[in-house]
Amino acid sequence: MYNVRINLEYCKGCGLCVGVCAKHGLYISDKLSPLGIRPAAVRPEVQCTQCRNCCTICPDAAIEIVVKPQVHGETSLAMLSEREKP
Ligand code: SF4
Ligand code: SF4
Q: How many residues does the chain have?
A: 86
Cβ of 49 below 6 Å from ligand 1? yes
Is the pLDDT at 18 greater than 50? The verdict is yes
Instruction: Return the residue whose CA atom lies nearest to atom 3 of ligand 1.
Output: 48
Mean pLDDT of 39-65: 96
Domain with residues 2-83, CATH architecture: 2-Layer Sandwich (3.30)
Instruction: Return the residue whose CA atom lies nearest to atom 7 of ligand 1.
Output: 21
C-alpha separations of 21 from 17, 39, 43, 83 in Å: 7, 16, 11, 45
Other Cβ atoms less than 10 A from the Cβ of 78: the count is 11
Mean pLDDT of 12-39: 97
pLDDT of residue 82: 43
What predicted TM-score, i.e. pTM, was given to this entire model? 0.81
pLDDT of residue 19: 97
* Among candidate residues 64, 54, 76, the one with its CA nearest the CA of residue 9: 64
Report how far residue 29's alpha carbon sits from residue 13's, in angstroms, rounded to the nearest whole number.
Answer: 9
Identity of the amino acid at 18: V
Q: How close is the Cα of 53 to the center of ligand 1, in Å? A: 6
Report how far residue 7's alpha carbon sits from residue 18's, in angstroms, rounded to the nearest whole number.
Answer: 15
Mean pLDDT of 12-33: 97
Longest distance between any two alpha carbons in the chain, whole Å = 64
